[in-house]
Structure 1
């Protein structure tokens, strides 16, 4: 598992050319999982886990994915646009601009050889075996 550390706001944390889907969201524990399955080469899957999700604006899938920590201006704009307080360090932009984002604890990711429907390395979430 790679835990994210930050050097500066706006810095890129994760980049992949792979196809990712919004895989699961657990309401009770406010957990979000994005997954790139191993149905196409390479023969691995990548799970990206967001914990303590307060707000999200997502696409159903991403053909390539970049995650970066938002800067102060983006935090302020998202807070004003969506009527929530966005603490610095809790807004993570997926792609460019504020068209897709998650307000949460820092994301983590893990790559393994699990099957598509195997539970995530981040623990069981409803809907997986």
Structure 2
């Protein structure tokens, strides 16, 4: 099972667009954690989410069966959503029911356009890394 992990950096819920059901969690470069890149994680077709406003690390992965049962019991997420329920923090307490998450990382200044600005060309002319969380 593939997952996306970034430890030791500050992430925050950057944008949620309810009309398009899109969530972006973002980490900007910071002297505090010694990072030079921006990281954005995109969730499309969001059906349900239980998220905190900030995280000190991010680990995005498909919820394993035991964790999905816990989420289903707690939040009433139906069994058919087990293949689209993603845990997003190292402790597994936050989750998003959505399409497969994607991530992008690149050197960006704070005021540069978002990495998931769909009006921009992709792949970009600058050096970047990107991928998806695999099921």
The structure where strand makes up a greater share of residues is 1
Query: 1:4 maps to which residue?
Result: none
Query: 1:24 maps to which residue?
Result: 15
1:80 offset after TM fit, Å?
Answer: 3.1
**Runs ≥4 residues deviating over 6 A:** none
Inter-partner Cα distance in structure 2 for 1:13 and 1:56: 18
1:80 paired with 2:70, answer no
1:46 paired with 2:39, answer yes
Inter-partner Cα distance in structure 2 for 1:83 and 1:117: 39
Query: 2:94 maps to which residue?
Result: 100
Deviation sequence 1:53-85 (CA, Å, 0-9, x none): 111111111111112211223323323322332
Report which stretch shifted further, 34-43 or 45-54.
34-43
1:106 offset after TM fit, Å?
Answer: 1.3
Inter-partner Cα distance in structure 2 for 1:118 and 1:30: 23
Query: 1:67 maps to which residue?
Result: 60
Distance of aligned partners of 1:56 and 1:48 in 2 relative to their CA distance in 1, 3 Å threshold? same
TM-score normalized with structure 1 length: 0.76
Q: How many residues align?
A: 114
The structure where helix makes up a greater share of residues is 2
1:124 offset after TM fit, Å?
Answer: 5.4
Give SS of 1:89's match. helix
1:110 offset after TM fit, Å?
Answer: 0.4
CA-based RMSD: 2.0
Query: 1:120 maps to which residue?
Result: 114
